[in-house]
Protein backbone atom coordinates (compact mmCIF):
# COMPACT_ATOMS: atom_id res chain seq x y z
CA UNK A 1 0.00 0.00 0.00
CA UNK A 2 1.16 3.52 -0.84
CA UNK A 3 0.47 6.67 1.16
CA UNK A 4 -1.27 8.90 1.97
CA UNK A 5 -4.34 6.78 1.47
CA UNK A 6 -7.89 6.11 2.55
CA UNK A 7 -9.03 2.55 3.15
CA UNK A 8 -12.70 1.79 2.60
CA UNK A 9 -14.45 -1.18 4.20
CA UNK A 10 -17.20 -1.92 1.68
CA UNK A 11 -18.81 -4.61 3.83
CA UNK A 12 -19.25 -2.20 6.74
CA UNK A 13 -20.59 0.43 4.37
CA UNK A 14 -23.19 -1.95 2.99
CA UNK A 15 -24.24 -2.87 6.53
CA UNK A 16 -24.50 0.80 7.52
CA UNK A 17 -26.66 1.43 4.49
CA UNK A 18 -28.96 -1.50 5.23
CA UNK A 19 -29.35 -0.46 8.87
CA UNK A 20 -30.35 3.09 7.99
CA UNK A 21 -32.56 2.04 5.07
CA UNK A 22 -34.43 -0.29 7.43
CA UNK A 23 -34.81 2.49 10.01
CA UNK A 24 -36.32 4.73 7.34
CA UNK A 25 -38.59 1.98 6.02
CA UNK A 26 -40.29 1.79 9.40
CA UNK A 27 -41.45 5.36 8.75
CA UNK A 28 -42.29 4.77 5.07
CA UNK A 29 -39.32 6.87 4.02
CA UNK A 30 -37.17 6.10 0.99
CA UNK A 31 -33.44 6.83 1.03
CA UNK A 32 -31.54 8.83 -1.55
CA UNK A 33 -27.93 7.76 -1.10
CA UNK A 34 -25.65 10.79 -1.45
CA UNK A 35 -22.41 9.95 -3.24
CA UNK A 36 -20.75 13.36 -3.48
CA UNK A 37 -18.33 12.99 -0.56
CA UNK A 38 -16.55 10.12 -2.33
CA UNK A 39 -16.88 11.70 -5.79
CA UNK A 40 -19.29 9.05 -7.02
CA UNK A 41 -16.73 6.23 -7.17
CA UNK A 42 -18.79 3.26 -8.48
CA UNK A 43 -17.27 0.64 -6.16
CA UNK A 44 -18.43 2.63 -3.14
CA UNK A 45 -21.80 3.52 -4.66
CA UNK A 46 -22.33 -0.19 -5.30
CA UNK A 47 -22.11 -0.94 -1.57
CA UNK A 48 -24.86 1.61 -0.94
CA UNK A 49 -26.97 0.14 -3.75
CA UNK A 50 -26.55 -3.34 -2.27
CA UNK A 51 -27.57 -1.89 1.09
CA UNK A 52 -30.92 -0.86 -0.34
CA UNK A 53 -30.95 2.82 -1.31
CA UNK A 54 -33.80 3.84 -3.64
CA UNK A 55 -32.12 6.79 -5.41
CA UNK A 56 -28.54 7.85 -6.20
CA UNK A 57 -28.04 11.52 -5.40
CA UNK A 58 -25.11 13.82 -6.09
CA UNK A 59 -24.40 17.53 -6.45
CA UNK A 60 -22.24 17.13 -9.52
CA UNK A 61 -23.16 15.79 -12.94
CA UNK A 62 -19.59 14.50 -13.29
CA UNK A 63 -20.29 12.10 -10.42
CA UNK A 64 -23.72 11.08 -11.69
CA UNK A 65 -22.11 10.07 -14.97
CA UNK A 66 -20.12 7.49 -13.02
CA UNK A 67 -23.37 5.99 -11.70
CA UNK A 68 -25.09 5.43 -15.02
CA UNK A 69 -24.32 1.71 -14.68
CA UNK A 70 -26.77 1.47 -11.75
CA UNK A 71 -30.43 0.95 -12.52
CA UNK A 72 -31.71 3.46 -9.97
CA UNK A 73 -33.14 6.96 -10.46
CA UNK A 74 -30.50 9.70 -10.26
CA UNK A 75 -31.06 12.97 -8.41
CA UNK A 76 -29.05 16.12 -9.09
CA UNK A 77 -28.78 17.75 -5.66
CA UNK A 78 -27.25 21.10 -6.52
CA UNK A 79 -29.56 23.48 -8.37
CA UNK A 80 -28.72 23.06 -12.07
CA UNK A 81 -26.80 25.81 -13.81
CA UNK A 82 -28.54 27.17 -16.89
CA UNK A 83 -25.51 26.04 -18.87
CA UNK A 84 -26.10 22.50 -17.57
CA UNK A 85 -29.73 22.09 -18.60
CA UNK A 86 -29.06 19.52 -21.31
CA UNK A 87 -26.68 17.51 -19.12
CA UNK A 88 -29.07 17.67 -16.18
CA UNK A 89 -31.81 16.05 -18.27
CA UNK A 90 -29.39 13.53 -19.79
CA UNK A 91 -27.71 12.32 -16.59
CA UNK A 92 -30.34 12.85 -13.90
CA UNK A 93 -33.95 11.79 -13.68
CA UNK A 94 -34.79 14.32 -10.98
CA UNK A 95 -33.25 17.65 -10.02
CA UNK A 96 -33.66 20.08 -7.13
CA UNK A 97 -34.78 23.51 -8.30
CA UNK A 98 -35.80 26.95 -7.06
CA UNK A 99 -35.60 29.22 -10.12
CA UNK A 100 -38.34 29.35 -12.75
CA UNK A 101 -35.89 30.34 -15.51
CA UNK A 102 -33.89 27.16 -14.83
CA UNK A 103 -36.99 24.96 -14.71
CA UNK A 104 -38.08 26.45 -18.04
CA UNK A 105 -34.65 25.64 -19.51
CA UNK A 106 -34.99 22.05 -18.25
CA UNK A 107 -38.43 21.95 -19.86
CA UNK A 108 -36.97 23.02 -23.20
CA UNK A 109 -34.14 20.50 -22.96
CA UNK A 110 -36.46 17.66 -22.01
CA UNK A 111 -38.84 18.43 -24.85
CA UNK A 112 -36.00 18.41 -27.37
CA UNK A 113 -34.97 14.98 -26.04
CA UNK A 114 -38.56 13.73 -25.93
CA UNK A 115 -38.22 13.10 -22.20
CA UNK A 116 -39.92 14.12 -18.97
CA UNK A 117 -37.63 15.49 -16.29
CA UNK A 118 -38.83 15.46 -12.70
CA UNK A 119 -38.52 18.53 -10.47
CA UNK A 120 -38.23 18.77 -6.69
CA UNK A 121 -39.10 22.34 -5.77
CA UNK A 122 -36.91 23.43 -2.89
CA UNK A 123 -38.50 25.36 -0.03
CA UNK A 124 -36.39 27.46 2.36
CA UNK A 125 -37.82 26.77 5.80
CA UNK A 126 -35.13 28.71 7.66
CA UNK A 127 -31.60 27.52 6.85
CA UNK A 128 -31.16 30.22 4.18
CA UNK A 129 -29.38 28.14 1.59
CA UNK A 130 -31.34 27.27 -1.57
CA UNK A 131 -35.11 27.37 -1.91
CA UNK A 132 -38.05 29.70 -2.38
CA UNK A 133 -39.84 31.18 0.58
CA UNK A 134 -43.06 29.33 1.47
CA UNK A 135 -45.18 32.38 0.63
CA UNK A 136 -43.98 32.23 -2.98
CA UNK A 137 -44.66 28.53 -3.50
CA UNK A 138 -48.17 28.54 -4.96
CA UNK A 139 -47.41 31.23 -7.55
CA UNK A 140 -44.35 29.33 -8.78
CA UNK A 141 -46.19 25.99 -8.79
CA UNK A 142 -48.87 27.51 -11.01
CA UNK A 143 -46.21 28.45 -13.57
CA UNK A 144 -44.43 25.10 -13.38
CA UNK A 145 -47.61 23.13 -13.97
CA UNK A 146 -48.04 24.89 -17.32
CA UNK A 147 -44.67 23.68 -18.60
CA UNK A 148 -44.24 20.65 -20.85
CA UNK A 149 -41.35 18.22 -20.45
CA UNK A 150 -41.09 18.62 -16.69
CA UNK A 151 -43.08 17.05 -13.88
CA UNK A 152 -43.44 18.65 -10.46
CA UNK A 153 -42.47 15.50 -8.59
CA UNK A 154 -41.81 16.77 -5.10
CA UNK A 155 -41.11 19.43 -2.54
CA UNK A 156 -37.89 19.43 -0.57
CA UNK A 157 -35.88 21.41 1.91
CA UNK A 158 -32.30 21.65 3.11
CA UNK A 159 -31.31 22.06 6.76
CA UNK A 160 -28.18 21.55 8.91
CA UNK A 161 -26.13 23.33 6.29
CA UNK A 162 -25.45 27.02 5.68
CA UNK A 163 -27.45 28.23 8.67
CA UNK A 164 -27.07 25.11 10.82
CA UNK A 165 -30.83 25.04 11.45
CA UNK A 166 -31.88 21.73 13.04
CA UNK A 167 -34.81 19.87 11.45
CA UNK A 168 -37.95 19.83 13.58
CA UNK A 169 -41.55 18.72 13.32
CA UNK A 170 -42.47 22.37 12.92
CA UNK A 171 -40.17 23.35 10.07
CA UNK A 172 -40.69 20.10 8.14
CA UNK A 173 -44.46 20.49 8.54
CA UNK A 174 -44.15 23.52 6.24
CA UNK A 175 -43.67 21.02 3.40
CA UNK A 176 -46.77 19.13 4.46
CA UNK A 177 -48.83 22.30 4.58
CA UNK A 178 -47.67 23.35 1.12
CA UNK A 179 -48.44 19.92 -0.31
CA UNK A 180 -51.99 20.21 1.01
CA UNK A 181 -52.39 23.73 -0.37
CA UNK A 182 -51.18 22.58 -3.81
CA UNK A 183 -53.70 19.74 -3.74
CA UNK A 184 -56.48 22.09 -2.73
CA UNK A 185 -55.72 24.84 -5.26
CA UNK A 186 -54.57 22.85 -8.29
CA UNK A 187 -55.98 19.36 -7.64
CA UNK A 188 -52.39 18.15 -8.10
CA UNK A 189 -50.76 15.50 -5.91
CA UNK A 190 -47.13 15.96 -4.92
CA UNK A 191 -45.40 12.55 -4.91
CA UNK A 192 -42.29 13.20 -2.81
CA UNK A 193 -41.64 15.26 0.29
CA UNK A 194 -37.87 15.18 0.79
CA UNK A 195 -37.26 16.22 4.38
CA UNK A 196 -33.56 16.99 4.43
CA UNK A 197 -30.40 15.07 5.14
CA UNK A 198 -28.76 13.03 7.91
CA UNK A 199 -29.70 15.73 10.40
CA UNK A 200 -33.35 14.65 10.16
CA UNK A 201 -32.72 11.13 11.47
CA UNK A 202 -33.09 12.19 15.10
CA UNK A 203 -36.76 12.86 14.33
CA UNK A 204 -37.23 9.26 13.24
CA UNK A 205 -35.80 7.90 16.45
CA UNK A 206 -38.07 10.14 18.51
CA UNK A 207 -41.07 9.56 16.22
CA UNK A 208 -41.41 13.30 15.64
CA UNK A 209 -41.05 13.45 11.88
CA UNK A 210 -44.22 14.45 9.99
CA UNK A 211 -45.77 11.29 8.58
CA UNK A 212 -46.03 12.83 5.09
CA UNK A 213 -42.23 13.11 4.76
CA UNK A 214 -41.33 10.14 2.53
CA UNK A 215 -37.73 10.74 1.48
CA UNK A 216 -34.40 11.69 3.05
CA UNK A 217 -31.12 12.46 1.27
CA UNK A 218 -28.50 10.64 3.32
CA UNK A 219 -24.72 10.69 3.09
CA UNK A 220 -22.93 11.24 6.39
CA UNK A 221 -25.19 8.90 8.37
CA UNK A 222 -24.44 6.05 5.97
CA UNK A 223 -20.74 6.78 5.59
CA UNK A 224 -19.92 7.62 9.20
CA UNK A 225 -22.83 6.13 11.19
CA UNK A 226 -23.69 9.56 12.57
CA UNK A 227 -26.73 11.83 12.52
CA UNK A 228 -25.60 15.37 11.91
CA UNK A 229 -27.93 17.47 14.10
CA UNK A 230 -26.38 16.47 17.41
CA UNK A 231 -23.37 14.43 16.26
CA UNK A 232 -24.67 11.22 17.79
CA UNK A 233 -23.59 7.84 16.45
CA UNK A 234 -26.47 5.65 15.33
CA UNK A 235 -27.18 2.25 16.81
CA UNK A 236 -25.86 -0.78 14.90
CA UNK A 237 -23.66 1.26 12.57
CA UNK A 238 -19.90 1.43 12.05
CA UNK A 239 -17.92 4.64 12.44
CA UNK A 240 -14.74 3.24 10.88
CA UNK A 241 -15.78 2.56 7.29
CA UNK A 242 -13.08 5.02 6.19
CA UNK A 243 -9.57 5.27 7.65
CA UNK A 244 -6.90 7.77 6.60
CA UNK A 245 -3.31 6.47 6.57
CA UNK A 246 -0.14 8.59 6.56
CA UNK A 247 3.51 7.49 6.59
CA UNK A 248 6.11 8.95 8.95
CA UNK A 249 9.04 10.51 7.05
CA UNK A 250 10.89 12.13 9.97
CA UNK A 251 11.04 11.34 13.68
CA UNK A 252 13.14 13.54 15.95
CA UNK A 253 13.23 15.15 19.37
CA UNK A 254 12.96 18.91 18.95
CA UNK A 255 11.90 21.96 20.96
CA UNK A 256 8.16 22.58 21.08
CA UNK A 257 8.58 26.30 20.30
CA UNK A 258 10.31 27.61 17.16
CA UNK A 259 13.42 29.76 17.53
CA UNK A 260 13.25 33.31 16.17
CA UNK A 261 10.64 35.99 15.51
CA UNK A 262 7.25 34.46 14.65
CA UNK A 263 5.57 35.76 11.50
CA UNK A 264 2.79 34.39 9.26
CA UNK A 265 2.84 30.70 8.41
CA UNK A 266 2.48 29.29 4.88
CA UNK A 267 -1.24 30.13 4.91
CA UNK A 268 -0.99 33.68 6.22
CA UNK A 269 -1.86 32.87 9.84
CA UNK A 270 0.34 33.76 12.80
CA UNK A 271 0.80 30.54 14.80
CA UNK A 272 0.83 30.34 18.58
CA UNK A 273 2.90 27.69 20.38
CA UNK A 274 2.79 26.22 23.89
CA UNK A 275 6.16 25.54 25.48
CA UNK A 276 6.21 21.84 26.39
CA UNK A 277 9.96 21.55 26.43
CA UNK A 278 11.55 19.00 24.15
CA UNK A 279 9.06 16.67 22.48
CA UNK A 280 9.19 13.70 20.15
CA UNK A 281 7.88 14.98 16.82
CA UNK A 282 6.90 12.95 13.82
CA UNK A 283 6.35 14.37 10.35
CA UNK A 284 3.81 12.52 8.23
CA UNK A 285 3.84 12.79 4.45
CA UNK A 286 0.53 14.55 3.96
CA UNK A 287 -0.79 18.05 4.37
CA UNK A 288 -3.56 20.48 3.62
CA UNK A 289 -3.40 19.76 -0.10
CA UNK A 290 -4.35 16.18 0.70
CA UNK A 291 -6.92 16.42 3.47
CA UNK A 292 -8.65 18.81 5.86
CA UNK A 293 -6.24 18.29 8.76
CA UNK A 294 -8.65 19.67 11.36
CA UNK A 295 -11.03 16.81 10.56
CA UNK A 296 -8.53 14.05 11.36
CA UNK A 297 -8.36 12.24 14.70
CA UNK A 298 -5.46 9.83 15.39
CA UNK A 299 -6.66 6.32 16.28
CA UNK A 300 -3.76 6.34 18.73
CA UNK A 301 -5.35 8.81 21.16
CA UNK A 302 -1.98 9.62 22.73
CA UNK A 303 -0.88 11.34 19.52
CA UNK A 304 -1.62 15.03 19.04
CA UNK A 305 -1.73 16.81 15.69
CA UNK A 306 0.30 20.01 16.07
CA UNK A 307 -0.41 21.42 12.64
CA UNK A 308 0.33 21.08 8.96
CA UNK A 309 1.66 22.87 5.91
CA UNK A 310 0.53 22.00 2.40
CA UNK A 311 2.37 18.66 2.38
CA UNK A 312 3.74 18.01 5.92
CA UNK A 313 1.72 17.13 9.03
CA UNK A 314 3.45 17.56 12.39
CA UNK A 315 2.55 15.12 15.17
CA UNK A 316 3.50 15.02 18.85
CA UNK A 317 4.08 11.34 19.60
CA UNK A 318 5.83 11.90 22.94
CA UNK A 319 3.13 10.26 25.07
CA UNK A 320 2.34 7.40 22.73
CA UNK A 321 3.05 3.90 23.97
CA UNK A 322 3.96 2.85 20.44
CA UNK A 323 7.63 3.13 19.52
CA UNK A 324 7.13 4.77 16.12
CA UNK A 325 9.87 4.67 13.50
CA UNK A 326 10.41 6.28 10.12
CA UNK A 327 8.29 4.34 7.62
CA UNK A 328 5.56 3.49 10.13
CA UNK A 329 1.97 4.38 9.27
CA UNK A 330 -0.29 6.46 11.51
CA UNK A 331 -4.04 5.91 11.14
CA UNK A 332 -6.78 8.49 11.56
CA UNK A 333 -10.55 8.70 11.58
CA UNK A 334 -12.09 11.38 9.36
CA UNK A 335 -14.99 13.73 9.87
CA UNK A 336 -17.20 14.69 6.93
CA UNK A 337 -15.02 17.58 5.81
CA UNK A 338 -11.88 15.45 5.94
CA UNK A 339 -13.59 12.71 3.92
CA UNK A 340 -14.66 15.22 1.31
CA UNK A 341 -11.19 16.68 0.91
CA UNK A 342 -9.38 13.32 0.95
CA UNK A 343 -11.54 11.92 -1.83
CA UNK A 344 -11.25 15.10 -3.86
CA UNK A 345 -7.45 15.06 -3.67
CA UNK A 346 -5.80 13.08 -6.45
CA UNK A 347 -2.78 12.62 -4.17
CA UNK A 348 -4.67 10.45 -1.68
CA UNK A 349 -4.91 6.84 -2.87
CA UNK A 350 -8.03 4.78 -2.26
CA UNK A 351 -7.97 1.10 -1.25
CA UNK A 352 -10.81 -1.31 -0.51
CA UNK A 353 -10.85 -3.84 2.32
179 is catalytic: no
- Tell me the C-alpha distance between 255 and 277, whole Å: 6
**159 near 126, Cβ under 8 Å?**
yes
What number of CA atoms fall less than 13 Å from residue 36's CA on the CB side? 18
For residue 233, give the 3-state DSSP assignment. Answer: strand
Please identify which of the residues 15, 36, 118, 179 carries the catalytic annotation: 36
Cα–Cα nearest to 88, from 179, 1, 150: 150
Tell me the DSSP string of 198-222. GGGHHHHHTT-S-TT--EEEESHHH
Q: What are 8's strand-pairing partners?
A: 242, 352
* Rounded Cα–Cα distance for residues 320 and 167 (Å): 41
- Residue 122: which H helix or E strand, with range? strand 117-122
Q: Max CA-CA distance within the chain? A: 75
Q: Which residues contact 282 (CB under 8 A, 6 or more apart)?
A: 248, 250, 251, 314, 315, 317, 324, 330
Residues acting as catalytic residues: 36
Amino acid sequence: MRYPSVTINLEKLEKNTATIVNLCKKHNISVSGVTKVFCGIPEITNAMVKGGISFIADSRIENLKKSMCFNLPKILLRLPMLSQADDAVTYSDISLNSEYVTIAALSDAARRMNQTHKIILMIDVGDLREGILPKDCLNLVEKILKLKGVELFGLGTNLNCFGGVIPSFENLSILTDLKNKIKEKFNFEITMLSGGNSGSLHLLESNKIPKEINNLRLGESILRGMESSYGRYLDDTFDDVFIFNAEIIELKEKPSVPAGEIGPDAFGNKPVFTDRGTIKRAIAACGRQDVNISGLRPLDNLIEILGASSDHMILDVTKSKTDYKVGDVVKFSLDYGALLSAFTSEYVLKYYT
